[in-house]
Amino acid sequence: MNFELKTLSLATAATTKTDTLIVLISNQFKPGKDSLSALIAKAIGAKDLSTKAGQSLQAYALPGVSASKVLFLGIGDGQPSDVKAAMGSATATLKAAKVAKTVVVFAEPVQPQSLKAAMLALADGTYVYSATKSKPVPRVLAQVQLAVAQPTAELKAAFAACTAMIHGIEFAKEWANRPANHATPTHLGKAAQALAKSAGMSCEVLGPKEVAKLGMGSFMSVAQGSSEPLRFIVLKYQGASKADAPIVLVGKGITFDTGGISIKPAPEMDEMKFDMGGAASVLGVFKSLSVLQPAVNVMGLIPACENMPDGLAVKPGDVVTSMSGQTIEILNTDAEGRLILCDALTYAERFKPRAVIDIATLTGACVIALGAIRSGMFASDDALANGLHLAGQDAMDLCWRMPLDEDYADALKSNFADVANVGGRAGGAITAAKFLQRFTQKYPWAHLDIAGTAWKGGAAKGATGRPVALLLQYLISQAAPTKAKARSKASAK
């Protein structure tokens, strides 16, 4: 999908050739002298059209309008949430009509966040997965022109950032949606290497021998039950001076999770292909960075493997030694994500980072706590926590800070190792975070538990691409503004 930001008034938008013209109308609408404004005012006066978010009126072959179809769409107060909801409802109409080209015009001045909301909703609602289908049906909507009367610098910056976000979100969706036999650790490594061909990027992919040499005993223990070889992916984006410390993103890359010897129940186990949602989000962020090219240094670390239950698999009660030297008693092999992340978090120390953020579909307990609305956020640093919270609000990719009281760590005590990998059901998301925190003492750290937000089940089954938008928005906030390079026009495929 190609997005364009155009300077068009309501009157000039009416004369633009397109399949469908979408007119967004808020409660603050004041009609001008053009014929389209007069028609809107008349429809509102007759109560045939409401400005309530999501309410719509369709028209065909209007005099003076070049588009064959016009969709008048209420956006309430024009707040981002209203715009997102309204555009989300409109995508069903666009898909049913097989619209290939549309112009979206705001009837009043628009705020940057509302512009982003429209773009994100359009992209999400029209996304189509096709990688493993014999007769793929491509996305029909190919071109979207966003028309605003005055494209301010703020609007242009929001447009560029959102275009990059959509690239990254859809890249993350693509990899998370792929079946496990089409998204092995080896496949992820190759995807990262392909990304690294972009300007300012490089990639190193380590295999079992290199990982063993590093002493990543915890990571290796998870992988030992699978015939698929593990991969440790190290991505680098340098958008700022070499002297600037990087922000490190660590993505959980369990490409399929059976639970290991602590095997999961069969129903819905197919959804465990989504257990590499953290890894997919890191790949997605790097895709976005390749488009936006902000002035910030970023490292991406992805420990990738399968968690399988064969005769070589790690057993409950086994004790392994992590890269940090700490020993871990594995009481539950289905708590494997933290076992691969802890070694990656230790590896991150070598970069002397400004901050480290790990992203993982880590615990069912976080789903119970927060559902699918907000990702769980744990942080050892208040400034980092506040930055991520604000970035989530700006990107409409919400998170919520959870506690890290030291008393929760008592549940992880072991008689046979330095720490156990689980601490019982009570506060499960918190004790998982406390386990990870043991390996993050040398830098500011945050953990995003995306178990409830990385994918949807049921009829809408599929990856969401979260939290790519949150992470990219945070990185933008940390970039040096005078050096940032952004594209004002790009395509999202």
Asked if 432 and 364 touch (Cβ cutoff 8 Å), the reply is: no
pLDDT for res 163? 98
Of 121, 152, 183, which residue constitutes the final position of a domain? 152
Q: Identify whether residues 325 and 208 lie together within a single domain.
A: yes
**Residue 377, domain member (yes or no):** yes
Q: Identify whether residues 349 and 229 lie together within a single domain.
A: yes
Q: Identify whether residues 304 and 440 lie together within a single domain.
A: yes
Q: Identify whether residues 315 and 217 lie together within a single domain.
A: yes
Looking up residue 267, the CATH number of its domain turns out to be 3.40.630.10
**Residue 476, domain member (yes or no):** yes
Q: Identify whether residues 217 and 75 lie together within a single domain.
A: no
Alpha-carbon span 214 to 246, nearest angstrom: 21
pTM over 0.85, yes/no: yes
DSSP characters over 95-139: HHTT--EEEEEESS---HHHHHHHHHHHHHHH----TT-SS----
Q: Identify whether residues 193 and 144 lie together within a single domain.
A: no
Cα 416 to Cα 30, 122, 320, 331: the distances in Å are 72, 53, 11, 11
- Could you say which of 69, 139, 338, 374 is catalytic? 338
Q: Identify whether residues 426 and 291 lie together within a single domain.
A: yes
**Residue 131, domain member (yes or no):** yes
**Residue 161, domain member (yes or no):** no
Q: Identify whether residues 58 and 184 lie together within a single domain.
A: no
pLDDT for res 487? 40
Q: Give the residue ranges of the chain where pLDDT is below 50.
A: 482-493
Domain that holds residue 123: 2-152
Please tell me whether residue 443 adopts helix, strand or coil conformation: coil
Residue 46's identity, in one-letter code, is A
Q: Identify whether residues 128 and 232 lie together within a single domain.
A: no
Nearest to residue 191, comparing CAs of 138, 115, 139, 255?
255
Q: 264 catalytic, yes or no?
A: yes
Alpha-carbon span 295 to 476, nearest angstrom: 8
CA triple 379-382-384, angle to 5 deg = 70
Number of domains in the chain: 2
pLDDT for res 62? 87
What's the maximum distance between 2 C-alpha atoms anywhere in the chain? 81
Nearest to residue 361, comparing CAs of 289, 426, 307, 319?
307
Q: 338 catalytic, yes or no?
A: yes
**Residue 138, domain member (yes or no):** yes
Looking up residue 90, the CATH number of its domain turns out to be 3.40.220.10
**Residue 82, domain member (yes or no):** yes
Residue 86's identity, in one-letter code, is A
Q: Identify whether residues 186 and 137 lie together within a single domain.
A: no
Cβ neighbours of residue 433 closer than 8 Å, sequence gap 6 or more: 378, 402, 404, 447, 449
Nearest to residue 387, comparing CAs of 481, 295, 484, 477?
477
pLDDT tens for residues 95-109?
A: 988 999 999 999 989
Of 120, 152, 184, which residue constitutes the final position of a domain? 152
- Could you say which of 6, 95, 264, 354 is catalytic? 264
Q: Identify whether residues 136 and 69 lie together within a single domain.
A: yes
Residue 231's identity, in one-letter code, is R
Q: Identify whether residues 143 and 180 lie together within a single domain.
A: no
**Residue 163, domain member (yes or no):** no
